[in-house]
Amino acid sequence: MIEVNKLYNANSIELMKSVDTDSIDLILSDIPYGICYDKWDIIHNNKNNALLGKSEAQMKAGSIFRMRGKPLNGWSEDDKKIPAEYYSWCNSWVKDWLRVLKPGASSFVFAGRRMAHRCICAFEDNGFIFKDMIAWNKEKAAHRAQRISCVFERRNDDKNVIKWNGWKVGNLRPVFEPILWFMKPYKIGGTLADNVIENDVGAWDETVFDRYNQLPNNLISMSAESINSGLHPTQKPLTLMKLLIELTTKENQLVCDPFMGSGTALIGALQLGRSFIGIEKEQEYYKTALRRLEKECDVGKFLFSH
Ligand SMILES: C[S@@+](CC[C@H](N)C(=O)[O-])C[C@H]1O[C@@H](n2cnc3c(N)ncnc32)[C@H](O)[C@@H]1O
């Protein structure tokens, strides 16, 4: 049986099956986006050469982009299967998330803009209510979108260099990330107010926004640079995690992150006096999360998994 206030170096798709039904107050997780950002983010069987760092351009590119395909895939049947494979992957674990949450409890899921719709469908198809989508405005973001005139310059095609001046291929600067907000349905025939009394979850605390210098709406502006960065390639700001925890839980309630990476959500839970369960399958990140939590915690309150 899973213990509370403990981190696990395990595959969460398996381990979540041992978590008690109706026991968790919030699942807050930055799940793999399925965009080949890193090895752990490859959620498909596509073996095309252009993917997985085999193309000439990718070999020259920095380590992150070496993993990825073209900015927008879709030129072969295998590429077209990637989103459906991502949906199937979400489908393989979301049923257990629904089971372990208390009725009316929330789940916040960081999901990439290009695959978020597949994640939403998997949650809905397994019984979750899709409550809202929060936009996290990162304010700044790295951006690579090639000027198409560069190609024509290399070809000495002056006519098209002039004609296409200012035009780019690729995406717009990605300054926002969606945070999907799901809710486990509560008792049929009851009201949400009844559920809040029965299960202590289901409502959200408006006063939180003031404490984090935000307006009480679904756009949260928080610089990604406010992170103690460098511990994980997709590390999220601790302050953002704390806002989401405080928005939907009270002290001593239980927060779970099944894809914890360097453990940012769990640090937030610990600092706010919530209990936690964290799971990470890569040993390197698991150890980073352990180190971070060890630094934070009182000896005796926090148990280690070896
Ligand atoms: C997007 S990252 C989370 C980063 C985290 N928010 C942070 O601030 O460090 C997702 C993590 O999920 C882990 N992961 C992927 N599949 C997993 C699985 N089946 N079980 C547990 N962890 C998994 C990856 O290794 C990766 O570290």
Give residues with Cβ within 8 angstroms of 178, minimum separation 6.
110, 111, 112, 113, 116, 133, 134, 135, 136
Q: What are the Cα distances from residue 262, in Å, to 33, 88, 241? A: 16, 26, 13
CA of 160 to the centre of ligand 1 (A): 45
pLDDT tens track for 10-36:
999 999 999 999 999 999 999 998 887
**Average pLDDT score, the chain:** 89
| Gap between the Cα atoms of 249 and 119, Å rounded | 23
CA of 92 to the centre of ligand 1 (A): 16
Q: Does residue 261's CB lie within 6 angstroms of at least one atom of ligand 1?
A: yes
- Would you state the pLDDT for residue 36? 76
- Would you state the pLDDT for residue 85? 93
Task: Indicate the pLDDT class of residue 208, thresholds 50, 70 and 90.
Answer: very high
Q: Does residue 184's CB lie within 6 angstroms of at least one atom of ligand 1?
A: no
Q: Does residue 149's CB lie within 6 angstroms of at least one atom of ligand 1?
A: no
Domains and CATH numbers, the chain: 6-140+175-296 (3.40.50.150), 145-174 (no CATH)
pLDDT tens track for 241-275:
999 999 999 999 999 999 999 999 999 999 999 99
Of 169 and 118, more confident: 118
Pick from 60-64, 145-149, 297-301 the range whose average pLDDT is largest.
145-149
Q: Would the pTM count as exceeding 0.85?
A: yes
Q: Does residue 96's CB lie within 6 angstroms of at least one atom of ligand 1?
A: no
CA of 245 to the centre of ligand 1 (A): 18
| Gap between the Cα atoms of 248 and 132, Å rounded | 14
Q: What are the Cα distances from residue 159, in Å, to 146, 152, 164, 169, 198? A: 18, 9, 9, 18, 71
- Would you state the pLDDT for residue 164? 97
Task: Indicate the pLDDT class of residue 145, thresholds 50, 70 and 90.
Answer: confident
Give residues with Cβ within 8 angstroms of 252, minimum separation 6.
273, 274, 275
Look at ligand 1, atom 4, and give the residue with the nearest C-alpha.
261
CA of 166 to the centre of ligand 1 (A): 38
Residues 174-189 have a mean pLDDT of 95
Which of 8, 259, 286 best tests ligand 1's pocket when mutated (most atoms within 8 Å of CB)? 259
- Would you state the pLDDT for residue 298? 61
Which of 56-70, 80-94, 98-112, 266-280 is predicted with the least confidence, judged by mean pLDDT? 56-70
